[in-house]
Amino acid sequence: MKAFFAKMEVGVRMLLVLGILVFLNILASLFNFSVDLSEDRRFSLTPATVHTIQTINDNIYIKVLLDGEFPAGFKRLRQGVNDLLFQYKKRNGFVSFEFENPNEGSVEEINKRRESLSKDGLVPINLQVRSGTEKNEQLIYPYAIFNYGERKIAVSLLENVPELDQEENLNNSISQLEYKFSNAIDKLLHPDKKNVLLTSANGELPTEETKAIETMLRPFYNVGRIQLDSVYQIKKETDVVLVIKPIKPFSERSKFILDQYIMNGGKMMWFIDALKMSLDSLASRAEFIPEPLDLNLGDQLFKYGVRIESNMVLDMECSRIPQVIGKIGDKPQIELFPWYYFPIPAPRTNHPIVNNIDRILMDFPASIDTLKTKQFVRKIPLIVSSNYSRFQLAPAKVSFDILRYKPEPDKFNKPNLIMGVLLEGTFNSCFENRVEESMLQSLKSIQADFKSNSPETKMIVVADGDLVKSFYDFNTNKFSTIGYSKFEKTAYNGNKEFFLNAMEYLTNKENILEARSKQYKIRLLNQVKIDEERSFWQILNLGLPLLLIVLFGFLNTYWRKKRYTKNNS
């Protein structure tokens, strides 16, 4: 009888333990509680992302074209997408997703699907997969398609910076997923386009040479042009004003209109050349001495906290241009040489605008000096030269003779020259205490008041007017992407990424771009420590579990023996 009750007691205890475990699982499913203990916070969403997800009030369906058999790296990318979308789904039940293999089905179905994807601009990548001694090609579509009502946006999952190896590119791809997904959702939830104006009365880049940026902007922005001399003000509904490579001086009236737009909280991007210089200047002469470009903007930018110097930045990290090195028969022999006046700076800060982007191609840029301002203005360098750079003050001779000699790193001794800077804060008017009566009358005619300082706002100043320029072919009516090197026949994607990120940063109040700052570190094992301690850890991993099992068995036997001996007595 005693043995029966003892068994009953053990059974009750087991049921009680199982009941507690079931109860804890139910509680966990109700509260969805988790703790992110990772150093880089990879499993935590940024506040802007959380806010965006919580505002979803209708079904968003996400189809991820990343299912099937892949190499380990792509499996990790797939898992990263799954983990992130699962977090989105936990935050809001309107989010649903599934994975699809676009290479699955009959030949006819696959071809039809590929044709449909191609029409949407979704181009596969050709992946080389090794299977033993064989090498096979596999087409992969690294895209996620977000559907919201009748609207949809395709997001590329793969980052590809040529200078990085596959492992680093995959880590960058995973780190950028949150920004890309949240940005896509934000665009679907807020289809109203922002308003962008390009100034056009001071010799700025013509329409043909801004086709690339206008094409990039039009899906999400209303793009127009404005002649400052023919208006009284820039309307508050304008989200960003772009001043791109002007070559004529700005009138005081035009400057006043830009100034008051900023004083009313407007945001601007300035792409300004300091000197009258281009590579075409050397087309018909052996040397050229560029002159300072007088745009009458120095005092205005000075008031906002920056000064564009009258110089040219030279950098050993640069693109290349062709030079004739000889002839074979009647054919000239051409070779590409480093042209230090065309720097290709890599991002040197983790600011969201430039974090993880490719190199940026520049064309005779100048350096920028930051200045103390009356009001507090944060000055954040975005584009900075390498550790091997210097500047050449104007007037100074420019010629191809510099290519004849091997560069001496010791002479490139002015590192980290600022060529692009973000200004954030409260700005003082350039016209404070010097407003002309005609300017006051023009404000009065539109029932507006003069403002001497701005609310919190932002602007970006880049000392290179060609950074967003595209080459246009009048014969074919085709234009290049920005950042295209016609000599190297390649495009520097950093120009496009920088421009679009800058626009996003200036116009998005939720600051979704903050998610771009995430970085997943590649943690390598200490090989020396592995070799020294291999045996210890192998014995520990194999022996410790066995030791614990034996110890538990011994203690259990001892406890039962002691208990039943006591009961029998």
How do residues 304-328 score in pLDDT, each as one tens digit? 999 999 999 999 999 999 887 777 7
Instruction: Output the pLDDT for position 73.
Output: 76
Instruction: Output the pLDDT for position 123.
Output: 83
Rounded to whole angstroms, the Cα distance separating 203 from 465 reads: 12
Instruction: Output the pLDDT for position 335.
Output: 84
pLDDT in tens, 123-157: 888 776 665 566 667 788 889 999 998 888 898 88
47-171 folds as Glutaredoxin (3.40.30)
Q: Is the pLDDT of residue 168 over 80?
A: no
pLDDT in tens, 224-278: 999 998 899 999 999 999 999 999 999 999 999 999 999 999 999 999 999 999 8
pLDDT in tens, 20-70: 767 766 666 555 555 555 555 556 788 888 888 888 899 999 999 988 887
pLDDT in tens, 376-424: 999 999 999 999 999 999 888 898 888 888 888 899 999 999 999 999 9
Burial 78-101 (b: 16+ CB within 10 A, else e): bebbeebbebbbebbeebebebee
Please state whether beta strands 221-226 and 194-199 pair in parallel, antiparallel, or not at all (unpaired).
Answer: parallel
Question: In angstroms, what CA-CA distances link 533 with 25, 255, 346, 524?
Answer: 39, 69, 39, 16
550 pLDDT band, cuts 50/70/90, is: confident
Of the two residues 38 and 98, the one the predictor is more confident about is 98
Alpha carbons within 13 angstroms on the beta-carbon side of residue 8 total: 5
Of the two residues 110 and 458, the one the predictor is more confident about is 458
* Amino acid making up residue 173: S
Instruction: Output the pLDDT for position 518.
Output: 61
Of the two residues 430 and 166, the one the predictor is more confident about is 430
Burial 448-464 (b: 16+ CB within 10 A, else e): eebbeebeebbbbbbbb
Size of the chain in residues: 569
Burial class (CB in 10 A: 0-12, 13-18, 19+), 491: middle
Which of 362, 376, 365, 463 is CA-nearest to residue 423? 376
Rounded to whole angstroms, the Cα distance separating 92 from 59 reads: 10
121 pLDDT band, cuts 50/70/90, is: confident
Instruction: Output the pLDDT for position 308.
Output: 96
Name, in order, each residue with C-beta under 8 angstroms of 389's C-beta and a sequence gap of 6 or more.
313, 314, 315, 316, 317, 343, 412, 414, 415, 416, 417
Instruction: Output the pLDDT for position 29.
Output: 59
Of the two residues 12 and 118, the one the predictor is more confident about is 118
Quote the longest CA-to-CA distance of the chain.
115
Rounded to whole angstroms, the Cα distance separating 207 from 127 reads: 39
Q: Under CATH, which number does the domain 192-517 receive?
A: 3.40.50
Instruction: Output the pLDDT for position 516.
Output: 66
Global model pTM greater than 0.85? no
pLDDT in tens, 178-216: 888 988 898 888 888 899 999 998 999 999 999 999 999
Structure tokens at 331: 């054919």
Rounded to whole angstroms, the Cα distance separating 60 from 200 reads: 41
Instruction: Output the pLDDT for position 30.
Output: 58
Of the two residues 333 and 165, the one the predictor is more confident about is 333
Report residue 225: phi and psi, to 5°.
Answer: -125, 150
pLDDT in tens, 442-500: 888 888 999 999 999 999 999 999 999 998 888 888 888 899 998 998 889 899 999 99
Q: Is the pLDDT of residue 89 over 80?
A: yes
Indicate the domain borders of the chain.
1-33, 47-171, 192-517, 525-569
Instruction: Output the pLDDT for position 510.
Output: 66
Contact 293, 250 (CB under 8 A): no
Instruction: Output the pLDDT for position 128.
Output: 66
